[in-house]
């Protein structure tokens, strides 16, 4: 785990040093720790743009990875991820109402800004979270809850498609760009808010690690060991909903990370113990998004790639190679 922490530090330094303007790691150290900048423009770039973006990458990678690991363990499904309960689709629905429906009624140009998008995404995710909670209160079977969550996501996606069909070209392009995912464009106030919600989402995980370990052998075994599976379900919905919802609201629907990173952690650390998997997944997710963001910035160029494209292109072949070396189906 210490080695993974060192990799995280190195990835962070690479992320803030690479970009359209190259800033050496020595300049980063001198500026951050001693306040010595060769040019004021470098301070502006690092403090106001690259540091917030790097912190957002860490928070998004951590949140999506922990959310995905909880989903996979609770539903005992290796393909489960942060989006299976439809909460991230709900965040997209909130943004679609703001941008696409706003275009139809003619107020989008006055309403769209980073804060408005984040608030709309948060409200949309919160709405689906409430609906999923009501379903969880009524049904007792986890597979039924999983199916209902997928149906929520499908229904929301259908509504978004209808809105996209009737919206204007400019609004449609804006929503499409948002749906590709982005870690930049957030100020420090938004970073602190995102950090606060992620910390609240991590709170239930701390008290559920032993319960998740017992759940590996099935709900009946976990119940016989004294685990309150109903309470664990509520904790999981709250935690995964907050983590995936806030990331989607602020960064867009970042693909791949929530499903693949927990498998990467299982394969690298060769364990199913959640006392190791939770911190390992958090570290892997943060490192992966930092590196993908650094590559997506196209060092030396003013252009940047959508984060979804980079995570999928880089991460998918990596996970395929790791999975081929180990049959992880026994973990489920």
Minimal CA–CA distance to 281: which of 84, 273, 160?
273
Question: Can you spell out the DSSP letters for 40-99?
Answer: HHHHHHIIIIIHHHHHHHHHHHHHHHHHHHHHHHHHT-TT--TTTTSHHHHHHHHHHIII
Model confidence at 143: pLDDT above 60:
yes
Q: What is the DSSP letter of 306?
A: -
pLDDT at 328 (0 to 100): 57
- Any idea what DSSP says for residue 325? T
For all residues of the chain together, what is the average pLDDT? Answer: 83
Classified as helix, coil or strand, 180 is coil
Q: Alpha carbon of 108 to those of 100, 103, 117, 236: distances in Å? A: 8, 5, 11, 35
- The count of residues in the chain is 332
Instruction: Work out the pLDDT band at 249, boundaries 50, 70, 90.
Output: confident
**Interval 309-325 mean pLDDT:** 76
Token pair listed for 230: 């109903």
Asked whether the predicted pLDDT for residue 40 surpasses 80, the reply is no
Q: pLDDT tens, 169-186?
A: 888 888 888 888 888 888
- Lookup: tokens for 145: 């809850």
Mean pLDDT value of segment 39-47: 80
Is 70 exceeded by the pLDDT of residue 327?
Answer: no
Query: pTM here?
Result: 0.88
pLDDT score at 301: 65
Average pLDDT score over residue span 126-154: 81
CA distance linking residue 171 with residue 109, whole number of Å: 9
Residue with the bigger pLDDT between 332 and 259: it is: 259
């Amino acid at each position: 785990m210490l080695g993974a922490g060192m990799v995280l530090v190195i990835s962070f330094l690479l992320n803030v040093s690479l970009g359209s303007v190259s800033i050496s790691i020595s300049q980063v150290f001198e500026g951050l720790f001693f306040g010595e900048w060769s040019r004021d423009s470098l301070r502006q770039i690092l403090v106001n743009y690259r540091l917030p973006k790097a912190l957002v990458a860490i928070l998004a990678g951590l949140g999506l990875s922990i959310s995905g690991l909880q989903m996979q363990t609770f539903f005992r499904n290796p393909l489960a991820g942060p989006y299976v309960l439809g909460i991230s689709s709900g965040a997209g629905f909130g943004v679609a109402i703001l941008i696409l429906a706003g275009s139809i009624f003619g107020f989008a140009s006055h309403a769209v800004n980073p804060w408005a998008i984040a608030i709309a995404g948060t409200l949309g995710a919160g709405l689906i979270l409430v609906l999923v909670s009501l379903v969880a209160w009524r049904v007792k079977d986890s597979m039924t809850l999983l199916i209902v969550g997928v149906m929520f996501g499908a229904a929301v996606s259908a509504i978004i498609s209808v809105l996209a069909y009737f919206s204007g070209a400019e609004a449609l392009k804006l929503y499409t760009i948002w749906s590709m995912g982005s870690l930049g464009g957030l100020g420090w106030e938004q970073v602190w808010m995102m950090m606060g919600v992620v910390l609240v989402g991590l709170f239930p995980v701390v008290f559920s690690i032993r319960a998740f370990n017992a759940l590996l052998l099935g709900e009946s075994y976990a119940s016989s060991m004294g685990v309150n599976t109903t309470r664990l379900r509520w904790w999981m919905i709250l935690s995964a909903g907050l983590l995936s919802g806030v990331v989607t609201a602020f960064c867009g629907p970042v693909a791949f990370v929530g499903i693949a990173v927990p498998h990467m952690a299982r394969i690298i650390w060769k364990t199913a113990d959640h006392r190791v998997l939770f911190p390992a997944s958090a570290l892997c997710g943060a490192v992966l998004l930092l590196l993908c963001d650094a590559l997506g910035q196209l060092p030396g160029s003013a252009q940047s790639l959508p984060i979804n494209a980079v995570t999928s292109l880089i991460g998918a072949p990596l996970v395929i190679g790791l999975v081929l070396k180990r049959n992880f189906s026994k973990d489920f």
